[in-house]
Amino acid sequence: MVQQGLSTFAEIAHGFIDSDRLKLILFAAGVKPAAFAALKIDSMNLGEKYRFEQHLKDIVFVASKARSFEEISKIEKNKIYWSFNGVWIGYDLFNCYHGLKQFKEYVKYVTMQNHDKADRIAGKLYGYPDCCVENFIKEHDLNYLKEKYTCYEYYKRLHDSVRRFPFVFHTPCSKNCTATAKLNNLYKHALKKTAPKFYKEFSRKKSLKTDLIIDAESDVFDKNRNTIWPSKDGHEYPTIARTPFQGHHYLYAYLTKKCYERGTVLGSKVDMRYNYADIKAYKTKDAIKNLMHIRKFQALGRKF
């Protein structure tokens, strides 16, 4: 049964990022068995906590304590200033009590650092394909990981996955995974049917011309904090957009064969669609020395 009230609320509420909006709509459509979403509350949407919980009256859920979050408020010379913008509450929704029980087990195993067991439970709970869960677990082994992929291949595969399967939330075992393709299709159609406006907006290409500031490179580290790829054939950099998009300075992941110093400023065009951004960097404009983030609170997110 489609929970249309919840779906409509998820579609229009101010406090959700798009990927959480998507999860809630799919949950409300009855195709996703469990979902986590963070509701951000600031001065613009003080009533949304109450309204969201009204829609959850007949749903099994747990809500976290409210935690603060920061957003980039200004960028000046080498300093990225973050400021307190509001609070967020994490909601875990389940289609039955058994889901909540599984979730508690999952959290228990994460706390015990038994990640293999935790991931198998999470896979069942969230409806991820078994082949992808088993592959994900195999890739916990860093020796296996570095044998399987070069640095560029590792990130390329993640970038390719979100482009090929923009409606799923797990890491597919390969780009040819038929179970993932099936799930992606199921989610796409459910979204199109129950939330057509959001579907249109989510799939629409949005472009932004901006300078991007290269931040510290993404990497995979071993226990001793050494990279598992000492010689790199490519790089993934988080980049910070100098020009805001819809009022926010977004961070975009940039995958490239070129090597850039932290603080390099690239004149770029960013094409956003679904949950990813394609970046065309056309010119190196500047080099910022000693780039630093000025922030007080933890980033939005949690360990499990």
Q: Is residue 137 close enough to count as binding Zn ion by CB under 5 A?
A: no
Segment interacting with Zn ion (CB under 5 A) among 57-65, 107-115, 127-135, 234-242:
127-135
Nearest distance from residue 135's CB to Zn ion, in Å?
6
Name the nearest CA neighbour of 89 among 115, 66, 118. 66
Q: Is residue 177 close enough to count as binding Zn ion by CB under 5 A?
A: yes
Sketch the per residue contact string, 95 through 124, with Zn ion: x for CB under 5 A, - otherwise: ------------------------------
Q: Is residue 145 close enough to count as binding Zn ion by CB under 5 A?
A: no
Q: Which of 125, 173, 191, 265 binds Zn ion (CB under 5 A)?
A: 173
What is the C-alpha end-to-end distance of the chain, expressed in Å? Answer: 29
Q: Which of 129, 212, 215, 277 binds Zn ion (CB under 5 A)?
A: 129
Q: Is residue 34 close enough to count as binding Zn ion by CB under 5 A?
A: no
Count of chain residues binding Zn ion (CB under 5 A): 6
Give the residue with the Cβ less far from Zn ion, 173 or 277.
173
Nearest distance from residue 138's CB to Zn ion, in Å?
12
Nearest distance from residue 128's CB to Zn ion, in Å?
8
Residue 165 CA neighbour count, 13 Å, CB half: 23
Segment interacting with Zn ion (CB under 5 A) among 1-9, 75-83, 130-138, 232-240:
130-138
Segment interacting with Zn ion (CB under 5 A) among 37-45, 103-111, 119-127, 171-179:
171-179
As given in the structure block, the two tokens for residue 122 are: 């999470």
Give the residue with the Cβ less far from Zn ion, 123 or 129.
129
Give the residue with the Cβ less far from Zn ion, 94 or 136.
136
Nearest distance from residue 122's CB to Zn ion, in Å?
15
Q: Is residue 131 close enough to count as binding Zn ion by CB under 5 A?
A: yes
Q: Which of 132, 213, 241, 265 binds Zn ion (CB under 5 A)?
A: 132
Give the residue with the Cβ less far from Zn ion, 42 or 134.
134
- The binding site for Zn ion (CB under 5 A) comprises 129, 131-132, 173, 177, 179
